[in-house]
Each structure stands twice: as structure tokens, then as C-alpha cells.
Amino acid sequence: MELALFDLDNTLLAGDSDYEWAQFLIERGVLDRATYETRNDEFFRQYQAGTLDIHAFLDFQLAPLARHPRAVLEAWHAEFMDAKVRPMIGDRARRLVERHLAAGALCAIVTATNSFVTAPIAREFGVEHLIATEPEARGGRFTGKVAGMPCFREGKVARLEQWLEAMGRALSSFAASTFYSDSHNDLPLLERVTRPVAVDPDAALRRVAAARAWEIISLR
């Protein structure tokens, strides 16, 4: 059996769901534009530069979830899917996932973005398994904190290994393993699979992929 892993933001999506969720809340007036837009942009630049403090970012990104009931958040998310997410999903991305599913591969989306934002997106792609940063919840409400290890950089490798171990598997037990990503932040996991694929890569990942003769594709 093949293992097929997909990064989400700027890989399967032609955009960043983390960033767009914050922008969506700003546009709805849920978040103050002057305060949040500047910080959202700054965190996005840090991510692109490889300097992101993931815990500082999660404190920022998860805080709004704690201020509203789950039912309200889910209603907003349904609007978010129509307004922001589905326009970022291209036919090539859908066909790529469908090919792996049809071939019988074990497929998972592996993303640093929290599971509240990304679980409905994984379902949109028909992918059952999601490995994501988990927001802490108590009594049916989010606390604004992260639960466990963030699924970011080396954390993606650790979270993947935990997920496989829970199924009695290991990365080495698969005849082939593929990981699709756009970002140099995902090099720790790209270096662990048998087939790393750079998808519309950032400049840093493009240089690494070219130097190592990794496959480079576009889903745009």
C-alpha cells in the first residue's frame, strides 16, 4: 500500500486557509481590522520567511475561537467555505487527490492549520484522515489554547508517526510514501518520504528540490 500525504495551504489550496479565516472574521466585523489585519499579515510573512514562532501564532489564531459558541463558529465556517475556501480549490488539486484515493492509497492531509478550520476542507476533498494542530476544548467550547504538539515543521513528522503508530504502522512499512508540499517549512517531512514532491514551491523549497532532483509540479 502507498501512503499519500498532502499539505493543505498553498498546496491543495491556492491560498492559505489560516490567513483567510482571519480575513473572513475581519470582514464580518468579528475581529478588529486595525488590530488583527496587521498581525495576521506579519505572522504570514514570518511563516514565509521560516521565522514563525508557532506558539505565538497559535495564541493569536486560536483566541477568537474561545470567544464564541461552537454553533456560531460552525455557522461562520459554512459561510467561510463558500466565500473563501471553495474558490481556492482547483480541478488539478481535486484530481490529484482522487487519483491516490482511487489507487487505494492511505491518504491524509497533514497541516499546521488547526483542525476546526481544516476538518471541513479535508471532507471537501474526500480525505478521511486529517493530521492537524488541535485546538483545546473544554465543555464543548474552545479555550484558545493548543492541545498537544503543534503540527508544524518537525512536529509534522512526530504527529504523523503518532498517527501511524496508533494504526500499528510505521512510515517504513509502506512500499512507497509521497508528500506534496509548497513550503520549505515542510522539509523535515519531505526528507522522510520516498517521494517528496514540491507543489508550486516557495523560492527556498524550489532551490532544495532542484538541487536534490525532487519532482516539481503545479496545481494552479
The residues annotated as belonging to the active site are 7, 9
C-alpha cell at 108: 491524509
Tell me, what's the pLDDT at 199?
98
Q: In angstroms, rounded to a whole number, what is the distance separating the alpha carbons of residues 185 and 58?
A: 16
Q: What share of the chain is helix, strand, coil (3-state, %, to 5)?
A: 55, 20, 25
pLDDT 10s digit of each residue in the chain, 220 long? Answer: 999 999 999 999 999 999 999 999 999 999 999 888 888 889 989 988 889 899 999 998 899 999 999 999 999 999 999 999 999 999 999 999 999 999 999 999 999 999 999 999 999 999 999 999 999 999 999 999 999 999 999 999 999 999 999 999 999 999 999 999 999 999 999 999 999 999 999 999 999 999 999 999 999 9
Tell me, what's the pLDDT at 155?
97
Q: Which of 213, 178, 216 is nearest to 199 (CA)?
A: 216
Q: Are 136 and 150 in contact (CB under 8 A)?
A: no
C-alpha cell at 193: 518520504
Tell me, what's the pLDDT at 35?
84
Q: Are 100 and 107 in contact (CB under 8 A)?
A: yes
Tell me, what's the pLDDT at 48?
85
Containing 195, the helix (H) or strand (E) segment is: strand 195-199
> Which stretches of 32-153 are DSSP H helices?
33-49, 54-62, 70-80, 91-102, 115-124
Helix (H, G, I), strand (E, B) or coil at 106: strand
Residue 179 C-beta-side C-alpha neighbours within 13 Å: 23
> Which stretches of 81-170 are DSSP H helices?
91-102, 115-124, 154-166
Tell me, what's the pLDDT at 37?
85
Tell me, what's the pLDDT at 144?
96
Tell me, what's the pLDDT at 100?
98
Tell me, what's the pLDDT at 47?
87
Domain segments of the chain as ranges? 2-217
Specify which residues 196 forms β-bridges with.
179
Q: In angstroms, rounded to a whole number, what is the distance separating the alpha carbons of residues 63 and 203?
A: 31
Dihedral sign of CA atoms 33, 35, 39, 40 in order: negative
**Number of Cβ within a 10 Å radius of residue 133:** 28
Specify which residues 39 forms β-bridges with.
none
Q: Which amino acid is at 70?
A: R
CATH architecture under which domain 2-217 falls: 3-Layer(aba) Sandwich (3.40)
